[in-house]
Amino acid sequence: MEEFQGNDLAITRDSLYGTFSEPTYAGVTSFMRRRYTRDLRGVDLVVSGVPFDTATTNRPGTRFGPRAIRAASVTSAWERHYPWEFDPFDHLAVIDYGDCNFDHAQPQRTPAAIEAHAEHILDAGCGMLTLGGDHFISYPLLKAHAKKHGALSLVHFDAHSDTWPDADDSVQGISHGTMFYHAARQGLVDPARSVQIGLRTTNDDVMGFQVLDARQVHRNTPEAIAELIRARVGDNPVYLTFDIDCLDPAFAPGTGTPVCGGLSTHQALEILRALRGINLVGMDVVEVSPPYDNAEVTALAGATIAMEMVCLYAARHKADG
């Protein structure tokens, strides 16, 4: 942590690097006080939001998720992220790119808009951390990442498999419960090298994905679960997606489709930390729905999980050489 440099670092900071102290209760709120900019020159990692929730099947409100996660992140932006031994912002040039723009009046065009948004960032040589939004946004993001990296290993934290087919299989819908069904069938992800963690809803067709359901997570240590994930993905390019409803509603009430029996925040964070070294190329945190949150605990969980992802990305691409 470096010396105090004044307020509103989201717009006034001189460098893309470093962690500086400013009042957590005031000022412009970007993710972790990173600079708000659309200038991708010299940038390693882009944080952007996709405030989209019309693919939701239950309670809406995740369009407000990116803003809530950013605001919650500011409470810890003054120090190095615990318990990592390095500050990822000393190693990565990270910006907050703002939100993806799309026309809500033309929902059929939204997937292409999200994909184009991601392609522009990836083509500039940047990594991406995306804040949702409902879970459908992972599908166009996967399309953009697969164009660059080939078939991806999906590491998917969720209460739901999201591999259900559309009601009419002849028409691909825009739903947050079907996107990984399509991603697998279209070769965007390789189920044989992918894993789903925390599931606790019934879907008998796992489509070749390894499933480590919530009961298995509870019966094992986080390190043991992480080792199973690492063995599954190997050094394949990994897209990491975290649906906040993977957490039990006691830890994340602010989400559209909560399911009892989920992971604690502690379990999730420990599993993520134990994934250090995986070939992480893209990531998102989704399904934070502030209208159903209580004391911003879900937004805070989302922001903390997002920072774990930043540290994992830094460890692979910078800090660990």
Smallest Cα–Cα separation from 207: which of 252, 162, 168? 162
Which residues of the chain, if any, have pLDDT below 50? 1-4
Q: Is 190 a known ligand-binding residue?
A: no
The separation between CA 138 and the C-alpha centre of its own chain, rounded to angstroms, equals 9
Q: What integer pLDDT is reported at residue 27 of this predicted model?
A: 86
Q: Quote the pLDDT of residue 319.
A: 67
Domain spans of the chain, in order of start = 9-319
> What is the C-alpha separation between 137 and 12, in angstroms, rounded?
31
Report the pLDDT value the prediction gives residue 169, as an integer from 0 to 100.
76
Q: What would the pLDDT profile of 121-139 be if each residue is shown by its tens digit?
A: 999 999 999 999 999 999 9
What gap in Å lies between CA 124 and CA 73, rounded to an integer?
Answer: 26
Peptide bond into 83 cis (omega under 30): yes
Q: Are 28 and 11 in contact (CB under 8 A)?
A: yes
First to last CA, the chain: 22
Do the annotations mark residue 243 as ligand-binding? yes
117 is in an annotated binding site: no
Q: Which fold has domain 9-319?
A: Arginase; Chain A (3.40.800)
Record the tokens describing residue 226, joined without a space: 């992480």
pLDDT at 321: 63
pLDDT at 26: 87
For residues 243 and 201, give the distance between their C-alpha atoms in angstroms, rounded to a whole number. 14
53 is in an annotated binding site: no
Q: Do residues 304 and 269 touch, judged by C-beta distance below 8 A?
A: yes
Cα–Cα distance, 15 to 295 (Å, whole number) = 33
Rounded distance between C-alpha atoms, residue 267 and residue 274, angstroms: 11
* Closest alpha carbon to 64 in 248, 293, 253: 293
* Residues 281 and 237 sit within 8 Å (Cβ to Cβ): yes
Per the CB < 8 A criterion, the answer to whether 78 and 21 are in contact is yes
Ligand-binding annotation for 158, yes or no, is yes
44 is in an annotated binding site: no
Q: From CA 24, how far away is CA 138, in angstroms rounded? A: 30
Q: Residue 313 and residue 307: Cα distance in Å, rounded?
A: 10
Give this prediction's pTM. Answer: 0.95
Coil vs helix vs strand at 185: helix
Query: Strand 210-212 and strand 94-99: pairing?
Result: unpaired
pLDDT given at position 1: 45
